[in-house]
A and B are shown apart, each in its own frame.
Chain A
Amino acid sequence: MTVLITSVPFTDTAEPIMAPAQLQSLLQSHGYDAVGIDLNAWVYNYIKQHAEKHKLQGFFYNQTICPTIIDELVFIIDHCTNEILKYQPTCVGLSLLSHHSQVFTKWLAASLKTAEPGIKIIIGGAGMHNHIAANRSFFCEDVIKLGIVDDYISGDADKSIIEYFKGNTSYPGINTVAWVQDSDMSLLPMPNYSNYNMDQYDNKCIPLLDSRGCVKNCEFCDIIEYWQKFNFRSAESIFNEILSQIATYNIRHIAFRNSLINGNLKEFKKLIVLIADYNRGLPREQQISWGSYFIVRQASQHPPEMWQLLKENNAKLYLGIESLIERVRHGLGKTFNNDALTYHLQQAQHFDIKLLLLIIVGYPTETLEDYEATKQWFRDNACYASTVYQVGLSLAAVLPNTNLARKAKEYNIVVGALPTVWTNKNLNITPQQRINHQFELEQLCIELNYNSLNTDGASGFHLPQGKDRAAANKLVNDVTVENL
């Protein structure tokens, strides 16, 4: 049996998607003939300069079919089908990183089933569900009913995919949404990118899984519902993987795949010492660099010596600030104060460490006065604009099965048809107002030089811009407050 695992477009990233490489090595370590490929990369590159890029993205995101792109879509589907079939797999695993992979999964699976009716198709990944913490997957039910997909695997597939190929289809997560977080990350073999063409990525990097879950308990977050325990790897294990991947691929930038790299501070400090020791004395082009999500802590936990090491690590940090209003931030579950935030900005500026700030626009407990204070914060802190290479603004969403959703009554929130469409009846700020606030904040950040023109995207995942943003705006507009 040959198993082929591939990413399914569309994820707007110029970086490799890790899951197929991870599953390839996992299956191989259990004696299966396995191949992992990244079809998303091919599609991303194919459409990135395409004259009809936005229409093609409209197909991937919403299945909007414009007559002028039909031949291109046929070509893309055929190409992806042929890329898979050239490995002559008996089983194809389609890995859906986000729900934006759902549209193409259907077309690709139908194409594969027609080209090779006997082929088995399984799907997995968080993108099978519209929301990561969903307790039912209409998508999975639908594709199985259509006969284009045979089975699905929920959650981490570390154990379940092996059990699946052993024939134990009653293992938790196989054809069920519920799964058990029971794997030991230290036992995972390192991803095998041998079937990836590493030259095709604009952001050359090696993805590396260092932890799953989070140590915080933010009320809006669905990650903690999906991974209810925080699992991490030892510094030595991570560092050994870095060295091994450098030796194999000669790529020295590591893209950590996690929710935060400093969840276990002890292991994190060990890791940055190991990397700094490695880098010292080497010319910059031979040094390790990395980018990762990172939580802000009180200053005493991140002393200047740590920032010096981060500089020597060539680190780039993505900070989940969420709200610039301390009261709101504490309330949602992030306990650092404004002094700690300022300290992180100062240290990053001093050591020339680039930051991405992730901000939620219009959190349910934010007032109009808070919004004005948020704008003022950006003005007051414009001196850090060169350190903050990007501000990621996202609309506040009440995601299903999160603590925030469970607290909706307490907050007097009425939730609409989409997670971003809700109203706090105590505050009466409409979804349209929040969209306007987001546009205003974007504009303000640009005026204050926070957003660089560098589009490499902190984590490789670009924020919707231009027509994509307009489409998002329209989507929210279509579901008016009157529908609440």
Chain B
Amino acid sequence: MSMNKATQTELDINLYFSNYNGSMTVEIKNNNQMLTKFANVATGDYNVKCLIDMPANLTFTISGKNYNSDTRVVDQEVVADKFVQLKSMSLGKIPIGVLLLPTICRFTTDKEEDKIKYETYWGFNGVVNINIPYSNFIKYHLSMNNGFDRDGLKHIDKLLHVDYDHLPTGNGHTFTTN
């Protein structure tokens, strides 16, 4: 049995794919090493659990969004959208707090305006970067003032369980959540 010198740490993330004219494509890498790729997936939750090298530089390369057709707007309201959402993330089994999570997601989009965003709702093509500049995951959490707080995720869950590709027909406003 080894002593506590491990620089590999368990990463556990949950992504929600919302499809409208198909799904986003997401390539996930750590330090330029491919972890996994999602393409043409069905609407729903997808879990990624793996060991990653630390320090870590996670990148989520997001593509597949056609800005002309993959968002449906009715009366200036978005009623259907193709996007992917980072719903939760744990490092070393310690969840990143729900309020903290968007602040660590640096989203560089391919849009001219709003090029840099910090959010977990990824509805544009671009690259999301999560930088973890420590070899010790405990130090990362402490430095972020993060400690086992998962509260609030339930609220997000409720908002996001929407399958826009299988909405009730006729009225864009009448989709249901579960």
Contacts and interface: CB of A to CB of B under 8 A. Distances in A.
Interface of A: 63, 65, 67, 70-71, 73-74, 77-78, 81-82, 85-86, 88, 103, 106-107, 110-111, 113-117, 142, 146-148
A54 B2 CA distance: 34
B148 A115 contact: no
B50 to A, nearest CB: 12
Contact of B145 (A65, A88, A103): A65
B148 A111 contact: no
Given A85-B4, A88-B1, A107 B93 contact: no
B139 interface: yes
Nearest to A115: B4
B124 to A, nearest CB: 33
Interface of B: 1-6, 9-10, 92-95, 136-139, 142-143, 145, 147-148
22 contacts: A65-B142, A65-B147, A70-B142, A71-B139, A74-B142, A77-B138, A78-B136, A81-B4, A86-B3, A110-B94, A113-B92, A113-B93, A114-B10, A114-B92, A114-B93, A114-B137, A115-B4, A115-B5, A116-B1, A116-B2, A146-B94, A148-B93
User: Which of B1, B95, B139, B143 is the most central at the interface, judged by chain A CB atoms within 10 Å of its CB?
Assistant: B1
Nearest to A108: B138
Contacts of B138: 73-74, 77-78, 107, 110-111
Contact of B95 (A78, A81, A103, A146): A146
B137 A115 contact: no
Contacts of A63: 147
B132 to A, nearest CB: 13
Nearest to A87: B1
Contacts of B145: 65
A86 B148 CA distance: 27
Given A114-B93, A146-B93, A70 B4 contact: no
Given A82-B4, A85-B3, A147-B93, A70 B139 contact: yes
Contacts of B1: 85, 88, 116
B68 to A, nearest CB: 43
Nearest to A69: B142
A67 B9 CA distance: 23
Contact of A117 (B4, B5, B10, B139): B10
A369 B139 CA distance: 54
Nearest to A81: B4
A114 B9 contact: yes
Nearest to B137: A114
Contacts of B2: 85, 115-116
A112 B10 CA distance: 12
A28 to B, nearest CB: 21
A113 B6 CA distance: 11
B3 to A, nearest CB: 6
Nearest to A90: B1
Contacts of A147: 93
B142 A115 contact: no
A73 to B, nearest CB: 6
B3 A82 contact: yes
A107 B148 CA distance: 9
A81 B5 CA distance: 10
A71 B143 CA distance: 9
Given A73-B138, A77-B138, 7 more contacts: A70-B143, A74-B142, A85-B1, A85-B4, A103-B147, A114-B92, A115-B3
